[in-house]
């Protein structure tokens, strides 16, 4: 009976570890996609291509959900556990600025679009600097 219980516990543990690793891989993939979206946003802004700018911003927004779906405290170092709340706040700020960027783009206000892009970039940089600090 103890052997069966041990085997069941081992299977449950390995399954939960695999699920966590799968979520982190999805997060890493979405982070790369969001970086590509930000690069495309910058290029589109320089060339005043509103179609690409809108599509890139929408792509950025679509990747934000995975950042909230993964519990950051599961992959952060022990001294960074509190940073999970910081990361959640950055996600909300990125979403807010991205939504504002789309509104400014629809209104044709390119100065506000550039300002919103800059704020999005600052939020990303702020989080990555804090979480990757050695």
Digit-coded pLDDT (tens) for 101-133: 999 999 999 999 999 999 999 999 988 887 766
pLDDT at 82 over 90: no
Q: Where are the domains of the chain?
A: 27-131
Q: Kindly indicate the confidence band of residue 74, based on its pLDDT and cuts at 50, 70 and 90.
A: low
- Cβ atoms 114, 98 nearer than 8 A: no
What's the gap between Cα 27 and its chain centre? 7
Give Rg (Cα) of the chain: 19
pLDDT of residue 10: 52
Q: Kindly indicate the confidence band of residue 73, based on its pLDDT and cuts at 50, 70 and 90.
A: low
Which CATH architecture group holds 27-131? Up-down Bundle (1.20)
User: pLDDT for 3-45, tens place per residue?
Assistant: 554 545 555 544 444 445 676 777 778 889 999 999 999 999 9
Does pTM top 0.85 for this prediction? no
């Amino acid at each position: 009976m103890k052997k069966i219980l041990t085997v069941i516990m081992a299977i449950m543990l390995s399954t939960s570890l695999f699920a966590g690793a799968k979520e982190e891989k999805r997060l890493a993939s979405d982070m790369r996609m969001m970086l590509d979206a930000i690069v495309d946003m910058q290029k589109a802004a320089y060339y005043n291509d509103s179609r690409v700018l809108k599509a890139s911003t929408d792509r950025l927004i679509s990747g934000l959900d995975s950042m909230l779906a993964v519990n950051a405290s599961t992959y952060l170092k022990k001294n960074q556990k509190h940073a999970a709340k910081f990361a959640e706040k950055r996600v909300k700020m990125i979403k807010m600025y991205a939504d504002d960027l789309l509104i400014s783009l629809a209104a044709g206000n390119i100065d506000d679009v550039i300002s919103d892009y800059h704020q999005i970039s600052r939020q990303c940089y702020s989080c990555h600097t804090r979480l990757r600090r050695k």
